[in-house]
Amino acid sequence: MDETFSNNNNNIPIEIVTDEEMAFIEAAYASVSPSLFIRSSSSSTPSSSPHRLLHTNAISINSITLLSKRRLSSSSSDIEDTLNFVNATKKPSLTDSLLRRFRRKRALSVTDLTSTEWCPKQMEFSLVLGGRKVNQFMKAGIARHAKLEEEVIKRVEVKVKSQEDRWALKFLNFINGVNQLLFEGLTRELPIIGFAEGIWMIGVIDEVRMPLTENDHHNPILIDTKTRARDTLPAEPQRRNGRLQLMCYKYMWDNLVADNFPSKNFFTYFDLNPQSILCEDLKVISADSGFSALTLDDVVRYYRNTYMMLSPAHDQLLLRYEYQKDHSLLCEDKFAYEAEWLKNQIRSCLEFWLGEREAAYVHEEERWKCRFCQYATVCPAYTDSKEASANTSNDSKAKEG
């Protein structure tokens, strides 16, 4: 845990590519129905443990592939796609913002923010033209995260019947994940739901550990594991994006611990009935977890009781980068939480989502990202840069001639 990425990595070349760093998993969690599976503690003697960890099946290669079915057409229809995009992305009013159009009665995921930071224009294209493709490297990363998950929890099927049930399941997953953290010192794939900067947000934390040192043993450490297709270090924009993701989790965690969860606003915003009776499976699950919940409001109250037991997350956050081929550790990026930087990043992203500014292109020095973007053929920034490059090449050839 104390080793940083600078140790023993001098011989590893730095590669500037994007495999989207598995943040897509979180987007899938926020987009796919959470009602399919829950998971219980997978200790060596699960039947003897009274503390069951229940988690939604957030990761399914098949379901994520289904999400990506809408893709750009071939180059022959690029002009039509571009015209449709222009019509669909005329600067909206505040009442017709991207948040309202595409996340109405839904929480904004942490991946929505990190994807916006990566490239606002790409985020806009993905909303209007359809979701991003899933490649073999993403699938390998998804499989790795599922394997890490299985090391501490196992899946149990549950059937839900309403939106209230789906939200109750998320809260129950958090409650039981925290129980596992407090009793065993470790939990993974922990869903977190919170209210930050006036926006409802949701995320899935890869791993939470209780530190072993006596001085800060009350402050959980938040960890995120990234998988790399090649045995190379991530470029700085990728590290920055990963840091933003983990800082968002800490911000949400600390907000919960400070009891900043306006439950009335929650029920109103998502149009939920707090007195909705839970399905039978969730009643059984709550009873097995040590409390009796009949309604969504009951679960929310237990959610509050749970997060009030916690301390703020540790100020030191950890990004781990693994090589997909053999799961070897490429580097560990241990960094400090920066509250002001994070708030500025969140506010900048929210300006985009709230319609207060148009989607910007990536900076010139990061225009290499365009080479890996599926929307490049309809993006002016990429086509302009290609034309400029071609003209420069032609001018050079003319001079040589």
In tens, the pLDDT along 142-190 reads 777 777 777 777 777 788 899 999 999 999 999 999 999 999 999 999 9
**Cα three-residue angle 135-115-324, rounded to 5 degrees:** 40
What is the reported pLDDT for 23? 43
**Cα three-residue angle 296-301-302, rounded to 5 degrees:** 95
**Cα three-residue angle 285-291-294, rounded to 5 degrees:** 70
For 333-380, what is each residue's pLDDT tens digit? 999 999 999 999 999 999 999 999 999 999 889 999 998 898 998 998
Confidence band of 389 (pLDDT split at 50, 70, 90): low
Percent of the chain with pLDDT strictly greater than 90: 51
For residues 59-86, average pLDDT: 32
Structure tokens at 172: 């129950």
Least reliable range by pLDDT among 50-54, 152-156, 182-186, 225-229: 50-54
Confidence band of 384 (pLDDT split at 50, 70, 90): low
* CA 283 – CA 38 distance, rounded (Å): 14
* pTM exceeds 0.95: no
**99 has a pLDDT exceeding 50:** yes
Look at 266 and 160; give whichever has higher pLDDT.
Answer: 266
Q: What is the mean pLDDT of the chain?
A: 76
Q: Which of 222, 205, 178, 203 is nearest to 41 (CA)?
A: 178
For residues 246-261, average pLDDT: 96
What is the reported pLDDT for 4? 36
What is the reported pLDDT for 63? 27
45-54, 97-106, 339-348: which is most confident: 339-348
**57 has a pLDDT exceeding 50:** no
Buried b (16+ CB within 10 A) or exposed e, 223-235: bbbbbbbebbbbb
**95 has a pLDDT exceeding 60:** no
* CA 55 – CA 242 distance, rounded (Å): 23
Instruction: Provide the 10 A C-beta neighbour count for residue 109.
Output: 22
* CA 122 – CA 374 distance, rounded (Å): 9
* CA 329 – CA 11 distance, rounded (Å): 14
For 200-216, what is each residue's pLDDT tens digit? 999 999 999 998 776 66
Least reliable range by pLDDT among 5-19, 109-123, 236-250, 287-301: 5-19
The single residue listed with the structure tokens 């001085």 is 215
Confidence band of 218 (pLDDT split at 50, 70, 90): confident
For residues 257-273, average pLDDT: 96
What is the reported pLDDT for 2? 42
Structure tokens at 174: 């958090």
What is the reported pLDDT for 224? 95
For 111-148, what is each residue's pLDDT tens digit? 999 999 999 999 999 999 887 677 677 777 777 777 77
What is the reported pLDDT for 5? 36
What is the reported pLDDT for 290? 84
Name the residue type at position 186: L
